[in-house]
Structure 1
């Protein structure tokens, strides 16, 4: 049976990397490309990571990276560009499905499903309804190196920035913080793991913390 061509939405974080990990093992599917969304200043919209770092991730994983560029990230722009991108991959590779790393937020799932269905496309969620504590530990135990690049400062301390996830770190999360950060408590950048042909070099500048409302972001050297 010929595997079905699909694309995967890619943010650079642990959940999207592990989505690729799971789908790469699934003989029903063939991943033809990762898809990420960037603003014109070269920053991935969901995690505020430099575009060039995500390109290095994709190269290490061995998959093409398709970058959706937007001057300003708005819901309308996102919807239009996502559907345009899906139509391109449908024409080129027969793609009808896009995978995301969503875990349990029903409103997010319903929004994406409805948007895609209106245009004849489908949503894949390989990690859907996984227990987030079990999943977070599984990602670490599989050998993925995921560093914390941003936090919700009302939930976590600045000390978390730049730290690589470990079982000990996960066990010490404050009460009420989802182990996978599904409510936005923290975001990560994966720089190594079983999918990676080599480590993605990354250097954090923990003395250069930027803030936006309640969010804090660690400085990352991109040379």
Structure 2
């Protein structure tokens, strides 16, 4: 099954890639990431394109980017993704994998968007227990929490290592995998990596997102000065 993985660079996507590489029926051929054309960053993670490229090289897979306009409409997003999916289909890709775990409405939306294409959707982590997955991930991978919902977390959570202590400090209403968008991460090392991705934490900034706010921790590459 020739597959591309929708890639956030975070823990769920990394865990999904590890699972797929264990499956003899799945051949992962590449990663697909959306970034803003004006900033070169992912919207919710705030991670720069360069870091995604370093990450992809470390896991040994090509990465392709869908560039979106600043504050894109849903229609603009769907057009951009439809073009990417059509391109994959022309190249013989059969499936696009998503690391969603439990949100039925998100899965239904993705299935609807794929319904008129030649690609099938694939959910390698679907319906997994998020507490167990988060604990296992923390044992086997290294990741930095790069953004957190400011209505649920104070600024100190941005930039923390995703580990057992972080999980123990989560507010009761927060899913251990952040499945409701409460926080996002960037994975630096683990069983899917040929080498670790060097990245240190820099400044934390707060930006409005929708009706709320998120705290973002900048990730810096080696020898890169803080802004």
The TM-score range, normalised by the shorter chain, is over 0.9
Q: Which residue of 1 aligns with 2:81?
A: 82
Describe how 1:1-223 pairs up with structure 2 within 5 A: 4-40=1-37, 41-72=39-70, 73-92=72-91, 94-141=92-139, 143-206=140-203, 208-212=204-208, 213-222=212-221, 223=224
User: Which structure 1 segments of 5+ residues have no match?
Assistant: none
CA distance in 2, matches of 1:133, 1:54: 26
2:57 match: secondary structure: helix
Preserved contact between residue 46 and residue 218 of structure 2 (Cα < 8 Å): no
Q: Deviations over 1:185-211 (max 9, x none)?
A: 1100001111111111111124x4232
Q: Deviations over 1:17-54 (max 9, x none)?
A: 11111111111011111000111121123422101000
CA distance in 1, matches of 2:218, 2:80: 29
CA distance in 1, matches of 2:76, 2:15: 27
CA distance in 1, matches of 2:171, 2:61: 36
Task: Return structure 1 stretches of 4+ with deviation > 6 angstroms.
Answer: none
TM-score, structure 1 normalization: 0.92
* Count, aligned residues: 217
User: What displacement does 1:88 show?
Assistant: 1.3
The 10-residue stretch of structure 1 (26-35 or 77-86) with the greater mean CA deviation from structure 2: 77-86
User: What displacement does 1:65 show?
Assistant: 0.2
User: What displacement does 1:161 show?
Assistant: 1.2
User: Which structure 2 segments of 5+ residues have no match?
Assistant: none
